[in-house]
Amino acid sequence: MHLIPPTIAPDTPSDGEKLVFEQLAADPARPDWTVLHSLDIAHHRRQMEGEIDFLVIAPGLGVLVLEVKGCRRLRREHGLWYLGGNAPGEERGPFKQASGAMHSLRDRLLKQRPQLEGVLFQSAVCFPFLTFAEASEEWQSWQVVDKTKLEARPIGDCLASALRQARERAAELGKAWFDPTACEPTEELCRQLVGALRPDFEFFEAPKARAKRAEEEIRHYTEQQFAALDHMRRMPRVVFDGPAGTGKTLLALEAARRGHGSGRSVLFLCFNRPLAAWLQDQAQELRHTMGASTVIVRTIHQHMAQLARRSVNGSPEDGTSYWDQALPEAAGERLLANWDALENADRDDLGGAAVAERFGVFEELIVDEAQDVLRGCFRDVLDLSLRGGLAGGIWRMFGDFAWQTIYDDTVSLKRFCARDGGGCTVFPLDENCRNTPRVAGVACDVGHVQPGYLKVLRPDDGVEPEVRFYTDGDDQRKQLIAVLEALRDSGFTGPQVAVISTRADARAVAASLLTAPWGDRLQTLVDDETADGQVNLRTGKTHYSSIYRFKGLEARAVVLTDIDHLLTPLDHSLVYVGATRATHRLVVLAHDSLRAELSRAF
């Protein structure tokens, strides 16, 4: 039998309906039958609306309305039916209910499709837990399907028997509309019935409208997090600590806006260039809405390079020794000299903005990605860039010190607060406002993040994250193209999609897609061939990058690639960081050797 829907809802209150559904689903003898469960009747003869428990459409036999009464005790007294021990009395018994629903349905269908006039419609009542042997002029014995009959033969046989006897009775009564030789309904009429009663349909929300709704939804739930800033408004030094998706970056932006609104010069630092480029765009918007801004947004390295200018020894080609040693030392020396000059300057002629512009010293410090910025090699620069220093100045730090320390796992929030924080306050963020519940759950499972989020604020959209397994590089390329095509067909295009990898950009699978069309549609997020490492945020293309470079950003659809192994805590952290970039759709491409581990999480 073809059941519509194919499964019964777990919250169906009637045990009797559940049992009948299971028996219908388990009966293989009548594959051409269609059974509709829980069919609403909008135009009932006697009620505003009604419901049919099961509607059986049997080719060559007819249409049977089956009312199911799952009670375990039944009696009728003084014309009232009592179905259950404490049930109130009902004047209309189950047979009248079934008959009324059947006639209402037939009347409506014949108005729409007169060609159904010759189809037999009949009603019956099923008592799956009781033996019902009562006889009456109000019903025929073959209209009863009780426990005894169901134990004696399959439910399909019971229902077929009821329809055959209904056909015999219609022939005996000489109903003008009924022709026993016509063997209606035909298969074509059965298809028309199903199409009229429960048609298949699908309505699509326009991609632009869906994207706008998702963006507004995320912003709405993020703005709820602004209460954290309200709670900490009297505290001069606060660390907002929380896992990915808890709104830290937008909270940091709001903190910068509030600092600016209070008239302070604000230095807003982060670690990643792509995130800094996005934040600079947001700060530009802030300037347009609030006048000349004293909010300066930079990466920690851009800030140090601005301070050091040409006084630094070495060059970026020297690698880690330049970025983590030579550049911080040169920037620190410049700041010390600036402080000496500031002490001798005429303070009456220098406001906060002028001091920030001339000496690189600000009245408030905002740091996003704090777990990456608060490394020992950068501490002196941070301290000297702030009026009052880290111990006595005004600052707000936003970071994930538990699960996103993918650059330096020796960074300790506890140690920073005790040594440099000047009696700072730590405010925990534990409500996810970016991801859907399913994406958040998978990210925590795969990333081994425990205990996870206290709450996921966004509603469930019913879309499951997907994992696909590849056997080698060629297979992964094919899988990636298939995923990108499927996302494009679903309305996810251009920068709405991000392909992020555990590998560096040049070694990522996305970099190997050179032929059209995806060779033209994909672009690196950071162009390493340009002198300053240009960030491509507004090109309209789908960007690919490493997880390291994409950290702090988000995309409506994320394809996480090159998951070859999950051996170390860093491996799990990278997958967690990558997965939580997705605001709506997440697809993971992983090596087939990880099938057992990842299949459990998905």
User: Is residue 223 assigned to a domain?
Assistant: no
- Among residues 429, 463, 491, the one where a domain terminates is 429
CA dihedral 267, 273, 278, 279 (to 10 degrees): -10
Closest CA to 594 of 564, 568, 570: 564
State which of 197, 221, 243 marks the end of a domain.
Answer: 197
**Which CATH number belongs to the domain containing residue 365 in this structure?**
3.40.50.300
CA angle, corner 322, sides to 319 and 323, nearest 5? Answer: 85
Same domain, 452 and 594: yes
Q: At 288, is the pLDDT very low, low, confident or very high (cuts 50, 70, 90)?
A: very low
Structural domains of the chain, count: 3
Q: Are 311 and 337 in contact (CB under 8 A)?
A: no
Do 282 and 134 fall within a single domain? no
Q: Please indicate, yes or no, whether residues 399 and 456 belong to a single structural domain of this protein.
A: no
The β-bridge relationship of strands 266-270 and 144-146 is: unpaired
Residue 359 in tokens = 């000496």
Is position 179 within any domain?
yes
**What whole-number distance in Å separates Cα of residue 307 and Cα of residue 324?**
15
Q: Quick check: is 90 in a domain?
A: yes
Token couple for 541: 């293309």
**pLDDT value at residue 412:** 83
Query: Would you say residue 161 lies in a domain?
Result: yes
Both 337 and 449 in a single domain?
A: no
Whether the Cβ atoms of residue 245 and residue 404 lie closer than 8 Å to each other = no
- The answer to whether the Cα torsion of 361, 364, 369, 373 is positive or negative is positive
Q: Do 470 and 570 belong together in one domain?
A: yes
Tracing tokens 């111990």 back to the chain, one arrives at 391
Instruction: Give 187-234 pLDDT, tens digit per residue.
Output: 999 988 888 887 654 444 555 666 666 677 777 777 777 888 888 888
Sign of the alpha-carbon dihedral angle for 543, 549, 553, 558: positive
107 and 14, same structural domain? yes
The SS3 assignment for 563 reads strand
Structural element, H or E, at residue 67: strand 62-68
Which of 431, 464, 417, 372 has its CA nearest to residue 244?
431
Give residue 523's domain range: 437-601
Q: How far is CA 525 from the centre of its chain?
A: 24
CB 233 within 8 A of CB 226: no
Give the tens place of pLDDT for each residue, 119-166: 999 999 999 999 998 988 889 999 999 999 999 999 999 999 999 999
**pTM summary value:** 0.64
Q: What is the pLDDT of residues 339-377, one digit of tens each?
A: 888 877 755 556 667 777 788 889 999 999 999 999 888
User: Does residue 346 lie within any of the structural domains?
Assistant: yes
* Dihedral class, residue 293 (left if φ above 0, else alpha if ψ from -120 to 50, else beta): beta
For residue range 21-30, list pLDDT tens digits in order: 999 988 888 8
Q: Which of the listed residues 429, 455, 483 is the one where a domain comes to its end? A: 429
pLDDT band at 286 (very low <50, low <70, confident <90, very high): low
H helix runs in 174-269, sequence order:
187-197, 207-224, 227-231, 248-261
Is the residue at 398 inside a domain? Answer: yes
**How many angstroms from the chain centroid is the CA of residue 155?**
41
Together in a domain, 165 and 301:
no
Verify that 239 and 371 share a domain, yes or no.
yes
Is 225 contained in some domain? no
Query: What is the distance, to the nearest Å, from the Cα of residue 247 to the centroid of all Cα atoms in its chain?
Result: 16
Q: In the block, which residue shows the tokens 């326009």? A: 206
Q: Are residues 343 and 366 in the same domain?
A: yes
Same domain, yes or no, for 184 and 239? no
Tell me: do 77 and 147 sit in the same domain.
Answer: yes
Could you read off the pLDDT of 173-194 as tens digits, one per residue?
Answer: 888 888 888 889 999 999 888 8
Q: Determine contact, residues 40/49, Cβ cutoff 8 Å.
A: yes
Is the residue at 424 inside a domain? yes
What's the pLDDT at 44?
47
Which has the closest alpha carbon to 167: 457, 561, 175?
175
CA 444 to chain centre: 13
How many helices (DSSP H) and strands (DSSP E) are in the chain?
23, 24
Which of 52, 53, 61 minimizes the C-alpha distance to 30?
A: 61
**Nearest residue to 456 (alpha-carbon basis) of 218, 189, 291, 229:** 218
* Banded pLDDT at 49 (limits 50, 70, 90): very low
Rg (CA), the chain: 35
**pLDDT of 476 strictly over 80:** yes
DSSP β-ladder status, 534-535 and 466-470: unpaired
Average pLDDT score over residue span 314-343: 86
Residue type, 397: M
| 408 plus 447 within the same structural domain | no
